[in-house]
Amino acid sequence: MNTTIFYFTGTGNSLWAARQVAGSLENAELVSVSDFERDRGKISSEIIGLAFPVHIWGVPDPVVRFVNQLTDLPANYFFALATNGGQVSNTLVQLEKIMKARDLRLSSGFEITLPSNYIPWGGPGSQEKQNDRFMRAREKLAAIAARVRERERIPVEKGPLWQRILFSGFYKMSYPQVSRMDRQFLADEKCTHCEICRKVCPAANITMKDGIPVWNHHCVQCFACLQWCPPEAIQYGKKTAKYERYHHPEITLRDMLKQ
């Protein structure tokens, strides 16, 4: 039974979640969404997984584009892992609808709560809180792997009704604006011109001008550039300088550059 888990990640949470499940399955491979978009390889797996972060209470644009490219698939079991900072909202229901429009059926969908990387609203929380989320996520992912092995078809997980109504509205209003939300990024005087921000950006949204990063308005709001900056020189607005940076402790910069 072959399994391919496609992942999109900015700070490593979704890659880590995908690894946890893949490690409990036989013949499972991980492929980044970016690699698929670039190489357009043929998918021959019987089981396909999607691992991605919740962005603005919905499915991030790279994942929407990925699903819309899927054709002629042998897989009859699809599952999804939606990593989030505590509010999955209607994300997996939205993914279900996107897939249905492609005549694909999402067999199961799970939310995985991990430390938040959305730094405009603060840091990832105390180390104690982070460790608790890692432990709970690890346990849940082991249970998910068992369900995937059995190809269980179950309803996707979702947030409370008020959250799905309210936050789905925010997503619809914000989605067309996301690509230009990079206008608040800047590099301060701590910038060492290392270009890691450019290299780690999964959207290839950053170019360098006189050694300083420039954002080119096709941002996906993953915050990889900010969270992986070694001297913490990249800011988003005026508040982020005082907040703790975060990327998953088991994911390395090398892992991200492979994406």
- Average pLDDT estimate for 59-86: 91
> HEC profile for the chain?
CCEEEEECCCCCHHHHHHHHHHCCCCCEEEEEHHHHHHHCCCCCCCEEEEEEECECCECCHHHHHHHCCCCCCCCCEEEEEEEECCCCCCHHHHHHHHHHCCCCCCCEEEEEECCCCCHHHCCCCCHHHHHHHHHHHHHHHHHHHHHHHCCCCCCCCCCCHHHHHHHHHHHHHHHHHHHHHHHHEEECCCCCCCCHHHHHCCCCCEEEECCEEEECCCCCCCCHHHHCCCCCCEEECCCHHHCCCCCCCCCCHHHHHHC
Q: In the chain, what percentage of residues exceed pLDDT 90? A: 80
Q: What CATH number is associated with residue 204?
A: 3.30.70.20
Query: Could you tell me if 149 and 105 lie in one domain?
Result: yes
Instruction: Look at the chain and report how many structural domains it folds into.
Output: 2
Query: What's the CA gap between 10 and 117, in Å, rounded?
Result: 9
pLDDT band of 37, cuts 50, 70, 90: low
Query: Could you tell me if 76 and 121 lie in one domain?
Result: yes
Query: Could you tell me if 161 and 193 lie in one domain?
Result: no
Q: Are 216 and 235 in contact (CB under 8 A)?
A: no
Query: Could you tell me if 143 and 23 lie in one domain?
Result: yes
Query: Could you tell me if 134 and 208 lie in one domain?
Result: no
Query: Could you tell me if 167 and 210 lie in one domain?
Result: no
Average pLDDT, the chain: 93
Residues facing residue 80 across a β-bridge:
50, 109
Which residues, 6+ apart, have CB-to-CB distance to 78 below 8 Å?
A: 47, 48, 49, 50, 99, 104, 105, 106, 107
Query: What's the CA gap between 65 and 78, in Å, rounded?
Result: 17
Domain span at residue 53 reads: 3-171
- Average pLDDT estimate for 212-232: 97
Query: Could you tell me if 23 and 101 lie in one domain?
Result: yes
Please give the model's pTM, rounded to 2 decimal places. Answer: 0.94
Query: Could you tell me if 130 and 87 lie in one domain?
Result: yes
Query: Could you tell me if 182 and 164 lie in one domain?
Result: no
Is the pLDDT at 72 greater than 80? The verdict is no
* Both tokens assigned to 100: 């249905």
Is the pLDDT at 171 greater than 60? The verdict is yes
Query: What's the CA gap between 168 and 48, in Å, rounded?
Result: 26
What confidence tens digit (pLDDT) does each residue in 97-122 have? 999 999 999 999 999 999 999 999 89
pLDDT band of 39, cuts 50, 70, 90: low
Closest CA to 141 of 256, 228, 259, 250: 250
Residue 215 sits at φ, ψ, to 5 deg, of -95, 135
pLDDT band of 14, cuts 50, 70, 90: very high
What confidence tens digit (pLDDT) does each residue in 21-35 have? 999 998 999 999 987
Domain C-terminal end among 117, 151, 171: 171
pLDDT band of 229, cuts 50, 70, 90: very high
What confidence tens digit (pLDDT) does each residue in 174-183 have? 889 999 999 9
